[in-house]
Structure 1
Amino acid sequence: MPSRFNQRTVLGLVVVLLGVFAFVVQADAAVEGDGLVAFDPGLTSDFVAHRTAVLSTVARAATFLGEIPVLTILTIVAAALLRLFTHRWRPAIVLAAGMIGAATLTYTLKVLIGRHRPDASLVLGAVSNGFSFPSGHSLSSAVFFLLLAGLLWYSKASRAIKLAGTAVAVVLTAAVGLSRIYLGYHWATDVLAGWTVAATWLCLIATTVHFAGRRRH
């Protein structure tokens, strides 16, 4: 009978493969213009129709958290704090590696898919001419916030703090992704794909860390 270690590793790899499959399906729909992609124009119109001054301010604040310079600074600060409070390099390295991987995946997949963004007339802010699929803001912010939440569960913090931290991470992840649709920078399926890649990448990181930890012991 396989050990618990093997079971977790196999389960993690299965989830990663399912994530890859889900993204491939989404990417194919983005290229072909069918599947869930068919609902994109309608969803974007709904978001635009419900814009208000207050929601626009909140959306701009949320999308600001997903900007590359902001996430870079946050990653450096968070990595330094992890090193300072845990007295170990491993959490800081995991966070840094996770964010570097997220950036690499974003650039590579955008170039491979080459999907264009919604019409510039829908954008609430400075127009971006880069490719759209998957949403880099959604992908990178999800990796950053959820990876920090995951590392929190390996700390000595109380269960209440761990649950609160996880809830905040989920809310911030959702806020950044939805803000990209609201502001007109991305289609809904771009954001969904970003979240799918982020979840798959996080699962691969967790599986690798678990595997390395058990081998070391």
Structure 2
Amino acid sequence: MRRGRLYASATAAIACLVGFWELGTDFAYESEVQRFDAVVSAAIVSLRTPWLTWVMKLVTVTGGGVVVTAAVFALVTWQMVRRRRVAALFSVVLVAGGSLIAAIAKGQFVRLRPPAESALIALPQSYSFPSGHAMASLCLGAALAYSILHSAASRLVKRASVIACLVYPVAVGLSRVYLGVHFASDVVASWLLGGVLLSLSLGAASLSQSAD
């Protein structure tokens, strides 16, 4: 069982890493990636309305550093009070590691943001690829889902909560494209890179729980 989980984690991590690397090395040269960005961005931007813009601005804030840091601090505090040390370590490594890796990747790929005139909010000063908000929300959502799945909550509560934790990073990622501060491939790349870290973290957590 443990060997199977480790194999699955390693396989998923490699697959996500390959996908991320393909996007990272192709976005400046491959017309397929550029067409993908253009088509997806046009489709999402076509949905712009005043009320949806207000919602998207609110959603995108939840993927920012202040909200994510506060949320993971509260989560880890609760986990430590409940003596769930593995879950607490999982949350810290996943969220902090995700933010660090995203920042490093931005400096390596150096992709400029979309044109400022198409953005509905001020463009961040950092590079575009990958999306830090998409990465942070994915890692936070995964940490919350992991904690919920290992709690004593009912099966219905677990399912509903996990679905919400999965919808959250998708909503944040879409908001970044909707608001015009990221290309669609930036968001997809963040999900893939986050998948690498998540897969490895799940494998490590499985080992730790087996050792306990």
| TM-score category (smaller protein) | over 0.9
TM superposition score normalised by structure 1: 0.92
Residue in structure 2 matching 1:42, options 17, 30, 39: 39
Indicate the residue corresponding to 1:117 in structure 2.
113
Is contact 1:135–1:191 with CA below 8 Å preserved after alignment?
yes
- Secondary structure of 1:131 counterpart: coil
Residue in structure 2 matching 1:11, options 4, 8, 12: 8
Is contact 1:134–1:191 with CA below 8 Å preserved after alignment?
yes
Give 1:83's aligned amino acid.
Answer: M
Q: Does 1:93 align with 2:81?
A: no
Indicate the residue corresponding to 2:26 in structure 1.
29
Identity of counterpart residues, as a percentage?
A: 26
Indicate the residue corresponding to 1:160 in structure 2.
156
- State the alpha-carbon separation in 2 of the partners of residues 42 and 159 from structure 1: 39
- State the alpha-carbon separation in 2 of the partners of residues 213 and 52 from structure 1: 48
Is contact 1:31–1:113 with CA below 8 Å preserved after alignment?
no
- State the alpha-carbon separation in 2 of the partners of residues 72 and 112 from structure 1: 24
Q: Does 1:66 align with 2:63?
A: yes
Indicate the residue corresponding to 2:128 in structure 1.
132
Is contact 1:29–1:37 with CA below 8 Å preserved after alignment?
no
- State the alpha-carbon separation in 2 of the partners of residues 45 and 8 from structure 1: 40
Deviation string for 1:108-140 (max 9, x for gaps)? 111111111100001101222320011110011
Deviation at 1:154, TM superposition (A): 1.4
Q: Which runs of 5+ in 2 are unaligned?
A: none
Residue in structure 1 matching 2:176, options 177, 180, 190: 180
Deviation string for 1:155-213 (max 9, x for gaps)? 22111111011111111111100000000000011011111111221111001111222
- State the alpha-carbon separation in 2 of the partners of residues 108 and 46 from structure 1: 30
Q: Which runs of 5+ in 1 are unaligned?
A: none
Give 2:17's aligned amino acid.
Answer: V
TM superposition score normalised by structure 2: 0.94
Residue in structure 2 matching 1:201, options 192, 197, 200: 197
Q: CA RMSD in A?
A: 1.4
Structure 1 residues 198 and 76: alpha-carbon distance in aligned structure 2, compared to 1, 3 A threshold:
same
Is contact 1:147–1:202 with CA below 8 Å preserved after alignment?
no
Is contact 2:132–2:190 with CA below 8 Å preserved after alignment?
yes
Deviation at 1:149, TM superposition (A): 0.5
Deviation at 1:71, TM superposition (A): 0.8
Is contact 2:12–2:195 with CA below 8 Å preserved after alignment?
no
Deviation at 1:31, TM superposition (A): 3.2
Aligned residue pairs, count: 212
Deviation at 1:27, TM superposition (A): 0.9
